[in-house]
Amino acid sequence: MTDPVISADALHVSVGNKTILKNVSFTARRGEVLALLGGNGAGKSTTIKTFLGLMTPSAGTANLLGQNVQLQPDIVRQKVAYLPESVMLYGHLNAVENIRYFLSLAGKEKTDDDIALALKKVALQPHAWQTRLQSYSKGMRQKTAIALALLRDAPILFLDEPTSGLDPVAIDEFNGLISQLASQGATILMVTHDIYGACHVANRIGLLRHGELVGMFDAPQDGNIDAEVVHQAFTQGLK
């Protein structure tokens, strides 16, 4: 067994008097896709933000590649690519300019061919590449952000509702990309509402409810996690 790449150890996060995460622990190893499922307010996005160093745990630790995120956020962030739920790119820039700008800020240099390849991978229409993002649909923005995440060449990917806004074809293509990246050694933590999509790509699925990790489902050696089982566990909690 390799050391865990992503590791939450008794994470506890509060905002004011409100507790968002309670004693959450999980790990993900190299090449694994871990999906966190949960309803609204379950603490999914907070988990990712804590790993990104944007929120500070009141107890417990969030480690990436064995390093405490809170102690060395800048070093840890260099190894991370992040795809936010609502894509936060610049409307005054086109897709290529956005990607080039954020890559430069992250200290990554990529050629035009690399960027074109990434944009093709996420199936963004070439005629849209030079159009400013302010006129993009949510799905097109999402694709641009995914291309950026791919180009970061980061060993760890955090994906917050990555397929929201994508059409079914793009979702299939995206899931294919995730599997491909995982097979190349990337460790992926994604949070989603999409049970079937998660079961399709994830090796493990954690179920969050009111800030607590209430279940963990592992994929069998030669197949996917049973979506019906997860669905049942998910909806039981909602009832």
Partner 1 sequence: MMFRIWLIAKDEWRYWRRSHLAMTVLMIAVVLAIASVVVTFSTVSLAAHQRAHLQSQAEQKFVEQPDRHPHRMVHYGHYLFRTPPPLGRLDPGVDAYTGTAIFLEGHRQNGATFSGQQHSAGLNWLSALSPAFVMQILTPLLLIVMGFGVMTREREAGTFDFLKIQGVSPLMLTIGKGVALAGAGFAVLIPVAVGALITLFYGSSILSVSAFVFSYALYVGFWCALVLLVSTLSRSHVGSFSALIIVWVVTCLVLPRIATNTAVVTVHSPSKLETDFAVLQKLREMGDGHNANDPAFKALKDNLLAKYNVDSVDELPVNFKGIVAQKSEADLTDVLNDFAEQKMEEGVAQAKVARQFGWLSPAIAIQTASMKLAGTDLENYQRFLREAEAVRFAFVQSLNKLHAEGLSYADDVNKYQSHETLQKAKVSANNWQVLSDFHFVPLPAAERFAGSIQALLQLFVLWLVVSIGVVLAGRRQ
Contact positions toward partner 1, by CB under 8 A? 49, 52-54, 74, 77-78, 80, 82, 84, 86, 88-93, 101-102, 104-107, 132
Residue 72 CB, shortest distance to partner 1, in Å, is 12
Residue 199 CB, shortest distance to partner 1, in Å, is 28
Closest CB to partner 1 among 151 and 213?
151
Which of 155, 85, 150, 164 is CA-nearest to residue 117? 150
Closest CB to partner 1 among 90 and 196?
90
Which of 53, 52, 35, 6 is CA-nearest to residue 213? 35
- The amino acid occupying position 10 is A
Judge residue 8's burial from the number of C-beta atoms within 10 Å of its C-beta, 0-12 exposed, 13-18 middle, 19 or more buried.
buried
Residue 100 CB, shortest distance to partner 1, in Å, is 10
Residue 169 CB, shortest distance to partner 1, in Å, is 27
Structure tokens at 107: 């200290």
Instruction: Report which DSSP code applies to 90.
Output: -
Closest CB to partner 1 among 54 and 117?
54
Q: How far apart are CA 107 and CA 152, in angstroms?
A: 9
Residue 231 CB, shortest distance to partner 1, in Å, is 31
Residue 234 CB, shortest distance to partner 1, in Å, is 28
Closest CB to partner 1 among 78 and 183?
78
Residue pointed to by tokens 């190349």: 184
150: Cβ contacts below 8 Å, ≥ 6 apart: 81, 118, 121, 122, 177, 181
Q: How far apart are CA 59 and CA 55, in angstroms?
A: 12
Answer for the pair 184, 153: CB distance below 8 angstroms, yes or no.
no
Closest CB to partner 1 among 131 and 183?
131
Closest CB to partner 1 among 149 and 213?
149
